[in-house]
Amino acid sequence: MEKFAVLGCGVVGSGVVELFEKNKALIEKRCGKSLEMGYILDLRDFPDRPYGNKVVKSIDTILADKDVTVVAECMGGVEPAFTFVKACLEAGKSVSTSNKELVAKKGDILLQTAKDHNVNFFFEASVGGAIPIIRPMHKCLAANTFSAVAGILNGTTNFILNKMICDSMDFETALKLAQELGYAEKDPTADVEGHDACRKICILSSLAFGKHVYPESVFTKGIREVELKDTKYCEQLGYAIKLIAQVKALDNGKILPTVMPMAVKNTNLLSQVNDVFNAVMTDTDGADRSMFYGRGAGKFPTASAVLGDMIEQVQLDGTISAQTWESADNADFIEDFAAFSACRYFRTTSADVALLTEVFGDVAERTISDDEETVCIVNVEMNAAQVDAAVKALSQKGVQVLAQYPILV
């Protein structure tokens, strides 16, 4: 009889327990052996819940029980999660976590600790909630060299942008609705400013390229400045503004991870990912383009991913897979944002297409003009310096650039 423990009985932790109990017979059949929920670590008591008698207050109880072979960490935050997870791994227990902050900041250390102790550190739930993405990238696409990964990795911001595009809400109204529906926190900073998506692209970048990418190395810009007007113009031109977390492999051997709102062309399936759904697109030399889509958050979707990891652990019976990445000096590995280059969407104060063409080249066919403003798509890749130069050149002609988005094809 193997047992598992759950650290933290919040939304995800209780979801793990409830989904396990619901599908226990099926899960045990798939595991090929019987499995019991042994402990829940939480400072609170849950006297009214059926699993109330399993609650413990100290990690030591769990560490001391040799029958506990796998632990679900659903506490969130770096501490005490890091200390607890490390202790579990060192005690020979595999860990499955839904904690993206922990993986993004300490993944390299925890993967090495797991390796050193012949156990596994799993984190399928840390990116894209229910979406199978870690295992597909690590296992199914293991024969491939990755050239790019791009995703919609934050459901809250996707919901807000979707409301702007489809229901013509402005940013503040859409954010308020997201908060009312429980999609956004009271303090929405981590979502709205892109920090959450940043942690997730760090994890996917580390996995794709084998070296740890730390959050502070990633250029990150949120959606607070996205104007309703631009979502509408983009839609007319065949684009959708999405918060895109992506990483590209460059010819110089470095990688360039970014998080920022981009105008996604409607031939790219990412442009069709709506509401709170997430999606990840991978470009590789063998498999070419693949996409993974699903619920990026929520009690049972996230619990589904945590339990999937735990089931694999029980099936594996202690054998470790070679899932690991190296600690890295990001200065040598990550290209500066100045090198980021893309086609661009511009909105300016001028309706003079000839003047815009002078600065940007041929844009005439892609403009929409109203009385005061022009919107155009520049189909030549521009980096930040080139954008700055164009803004300056326009300014000298009395034209202001009001908005600018890089394009994802």
Residues belonging to the active site: 200
Site string for its own copies, 100-139 (x = CB under 8 A): ------------------------x-----xxx--xx--x
- Strands 94-97 vs 121-122: parallel, antiparallel or unpaired: parallel
Q: Which of 316, 338, 385, 409 binds its own copies (CB under 8 A)?
A: 316
Size of the site for its own copies (CB under 8 A): 56
- Closest CB 121 distance from its own copies, rounded Å: 15
- Closest CB 371 distance from its own copies, rounded Å: 33
Assess 144 for contact with its own copies (CB under 8 A).
Answer: yes
Cβ pair 244, 261 in contact under 8 A:
yes
- The contacts of residue 78 (CB under 8 Å, 6+ apart) are 101, 102, 105, 106
Per-residue buried b or exposed e for 145-164, using 16+ beta carbons within 10 Å of the residue's own CB: ebebbbbbbbbbbbbbbbbb
Assess 182 for contact with its own copies (CB under 8 A).
Answer: no
* 3 state SS of 318: coil
* Closer residue to its own copies (CB): 93 or 295: 295
User: What is the rounded end-to-end Cα distance, in angstroms, of the chain?
Assistant: 51
Binding span for its own copies by CB under 8 A among 172-180, 216-224, 248-256, 318-326: 318-326
Assess 141 for contact with its own copies (CB under 8 A).
Answer: yes
Assess 334 for contact with its own copies (CB under 8 A).
Answer: no
Assess 322 for contact with its own copies (CB under 8 A).
Answer: yes
- Closest CB 307 distance from its own copies, rounded Å: 3
Site for its own copies in 192-251 (CB under 8 A): 210
Cβ pair 208, 149 in contact under 8 A:
yes
Residue 396: CB atoms within 10 Å: 9
Tokens of 7: 């650290």
* 3 state SS of 304: helix
Using CA atoms, how far apart are residues 260 and 300, in angstroms rounded to an integer?
Answer: 28
Site for its own copies in 342-381 (CB under 8 A): none
Cβ pair 249, 146 in contact under 8 A:
yes
Q: Which of 143, 180, 332, 370 binds its own copies (CB under 8 A)?
A: 143
Site string for its own copies, 267-306 (x = CB under 8 A): --x--xx----------xxxxxxxxxxxx--x-xx-xxx-
Site for its own copies in 12-41 (CB under 8 A): 19-20, 22-23, 26-27, 29-32
Cβ pair 129, 303 in contact under 8 A:
no
- Closest CB 207 distance from its own copies, rounded Å: 11
- Closest CB 26 distance from its own copies, rounded Å: 6
Assess 311 for contact with its own copies (CB under 8 A).
Answer: yes
- Closest CB 316 distance from its own copies, rounded Å: 6
C-alpha 184: how far from chain center: 15
Name the E strands within 8-136: 35-41, 55-56, 68-73, 94-97, 121-122
Sort residue 284 into left (φ over 0), alpha (ψ -120 to 50) or beta: beta
Query: Which residues would be at the binding site for its own copies (CB under 8 A)?
Result: 19-20, 22-23, 26-27, 29-32, 124, 130-132, 135-136, 139-145, 210, 269, 272-273, 284-295, 298, 300-301, 303-305, 307-308, 310-312, 315-317, 319, 321-322
